[in-house]
Amino acid sequence: DTACKNRPLDLVFIVDSSRSVRPEEFEKVKIFLSKMIDTLDVGERTTRVAVMNYASTVKVEFPLRTYFDKASMKEAVSHIGPLSAGTMTGLAIQTAMNEVFTEEMGTRPATFNIPKVVIVVTDGRPQDQVQEVAASARTAGIEIYAVGVGRADMQSLRIMASEPLDEHVFYVETYGVIEKLTSKFRETFCAVNVCALGTHDCEQVCVSNGGSYLCDCSEGYALNPDKRTCSAVDVCAPGRHECEQMCVSNNGSYVCDCYGGYTLNPDRKTCSAADMCAPGKHDCEQVCVRDDLFYTCDCYQGYTLNPDKKTCSS
């Protein structure tokens, strides 16, 4: 089942049907709309969908309050016909604000916190101003996705879309491949929200995956066989660390250390034999003699080593 089981949307498609969109291309747009409807969890209490059609004029094909089941929506989409010349994208967005995103037309009240989303599909350059209209729509809390096809003017798509642009502006070379965007939107509208909603049962980290999710763990933890809970990882287990001699676990991470007689090199991983006769390293009164990792004390000529093996007497 590809339907989203996530929080509802008030979703409005604004579709360019100006003369540059050939009749067979417009049919592809309608297939895209139908496939999008299929991926959504459509219903009066879940996601509501409206479709608007525009060229030099704007037509609300059906508002948010009309259909609450997929079959009726798709039937209505199949009867949509292209309009005429002109590409009044700004007017279409303004009409969405004035006539579609209203409670009378089926938009849920602001207190419901239902996201208001617009998807604009166009293959041209707007013949009116979109910058201000799109900005006021975004200020009014409407999230705008812009889909450009073929000769679409990418600059105007970026001007109208919500931030971050790389998640809200899409381009396809032809109407023939527009339905490939269905999975992109499915991921956008479903996946992100499963984790955001808190309806998952991951102990530490939730990662959205298509219309579902996977659990993951914070650094220093590993996923248990139940795929939900996490256990602290032994970061000093063989093969997990880069220490030459000793690994000391430290709050989910680790530090390296060295055996007696060795010191940690500046790379904080490898060790070098210490100079046991360096000043301050030994407790010989007179002469320190290195012996691999250890040392022995000796005395100057005319002195003998005392039984403590450190001090000398004349």
Q: What is the pLDDT of residues 106-141, one digit of tens each?
A: 999 988 888 899 999 998 888 899 999 999 999 999
Identify whether residues 117 and 39 lie together within a single domain.
yes
Q: Is residue 257 part of a domain?
A: yes
pLDDT in tens, 256-272: 999 887 889 999 999 98
Paired strand residues for 169: 146
Average pLDDT on 150-168 reads 90
* Domain-ending residue, one of 156, 189, 222: 189
Q: Is residue 112 part of a domain?
A: yes
Model's pTM, two decimal places?
0.61
pLDDT at 280: 82
pLDDT in tens, 207-259: 876 556 889 988 778 899 999 999 888 888 888 889 999 999 877 678 999 98
Identify whether residues 72 and 92 lie together within a single domain.
yes
How far, in Å, CA of 62 to CA of 73, rounded?
Answer: 9
The domain that contains 71 carries what CATH number? 3.40.50.410
* Domain-ending residue, one of 164, 189, 214: 189
Identify whether residues 60 and 120 lie together within a single domain.
yes
Q: Find how far residue 59's CA is from the centre of its chain.
A: 35
Residues whose CB falls within 8 Å of the CB of residue 14, separated by 6 or more in sequence, listed in order: 52, 54, 89, 92, 93, 96, 118, 119, 120, 121
Identify whether residues 87 and 208 lie together within a single domain.
no
Identify whether residues 172 and 25 lie together within a single domain.
yes
Residue 239 lies in domain: 234-274
What is the rounded (10 degree) CA torsion for 193, 196, 198, 201? 80
pLDDT in tens, 21-56: 888 888 989 999 999 898 888 889 889 999 999 999
Which H or E run contains 255? strand 253-257
Tally the domains of the chain: 4
The domain that contains 294 carries what CATH number? 2.10.25.10
Q: Find the farthest-apart pair of alpha carbons in the chain and give their distance in angstroms, rounded.
A: 116
C-alpha separations of 100 from 14, 25, 131, 138 in Å: 11, 26, 20, 15
